[in-house]
Amino acid sequence: MCRYRPAWCAMLWFCAACLLLTTNVTAQSGSTIRVRLADGFDFPVGKPDAEGFYKSRGYWPNGHLGEDWNGKGGGDSDLGAPIYAAARGVVIFSQNIGVGWGNCILVRHVYREQDGRIAMVDSLYAHLHERKVRLHDLVEKGQLVGTMGGNNGMYFVHLHFEMRKNLHIGMNRSSFARDSSNYYSPTAFINAHRALSSSAQKYDVPVNNFAPYGRSLADVDSGGSRSAGVAVPAFSASSAVGGGDAAAKPSDDFWSRLKSKMRGGEVVPANEDKR
């Protein structure tokens, strides 16, 4: 029995349910996580304007698909330098896969284009010394997500940074065209999206909609790690900017549904599909 006044008991139950619902949990394959729109993009080093760093290699289609950022101190003097999330989003990959990648983080961002379209884009942070976020963590622009490394000595210390418009690439770049149909020039994208319109509205962002490293989407579709009955939208170059998946959908009236369930004495489990 609650030892507080009835009104306070109701408030405590309501807050407890909110805490459960807003705690980051591992999502089912093919599911979605609700994320607020990004309010703009900044550089992942020397935030917000890459102060103290320089771009040692740029982006070019059918060649280098991202940008390499180094500290101006030269050599490995930038080992352990902080790496920041380029924008608000959700972590869709955080793992050390070795080979040429090492420690990698992928963050998915949902944002509003200047023409009003809701779009999504993935940012990749590779060769990290340390990863500071976990799978399905929600992150804010400028939040520490990792530290700069060189893939355990394979390379001189630097950050390899990519911006992907195709949300299915994951860690399997060889399965996709190495051109601007799938990738953005990171600096060009950031400079064009420094300040964006945002709100408290949350949107359903798909997660786990790409194949694990070394596997194909066909393998996953045929009984791999995806949940049965959950379709992964196909990528089309004609999709909305940043898309690849269907446009993100705004959340339902979540608070009214929660209040209704609380009035009925139902406590919402943390892993409930809230769509």
- Which architecture does CATH list for 33-258? Distorted Sandwich (2.70)
Contacts of 233 (CB under 8 A, 6+ apart): 206, 209, 244, 245, 246
Q: Once rounded to an integer, what is the mean pLDDT over residues 177-192?
A: 97
Higher-scoring residue by pLDDT: 237, 32: 32
> What's the full length of the chain, in residues?
275
What's residue 111's pLDDT?
97
How far, in Å, CA of 132 to CA of 176, rounded?
Answer: 28
Q: Residue 76: pLDDT above 50? A: yes
CB 189 within 8 A of CB 241: no
d(CA 161, CA 187): 10
Pick the residue with more confidence: 127 or 216? 127
Q: Position of tokens 């009925």?
A: 264
- The model's pLDDT over 224-251, given as tens digits with 9 standing for 90+, comes to 333 222 233 333 333 333 344 445 767 5
Average pLDDT over residues 211-218: 80
In this prediction, residue 68 has a pLDDT band, given cuts at 50, 70 and 90, of very high
pTM listed for this prediction:
0.75
Higher pLDDT, 5 or 247: 247
Between the alpha carbon of residue 159 and those of residues 3, 47, 135, 146, 148, the distances in Å are: 54, 14, 20, 10, 6
Q: Quote the percentage of the chain above a pLDDT of 90.
A: 60
Instruction: Give me the residue spans of the domains in the chain.
Output: 33-258
Mean pLDDT of 145-155: 92
pLDDT of residue 115: 92
79/155 Cα distance (integer angstroms): 11
pLDDT at 134 over 90: yes
Minimal CA–CA distance to 244: which of 178, 185, 172, 182?
Answer: 182
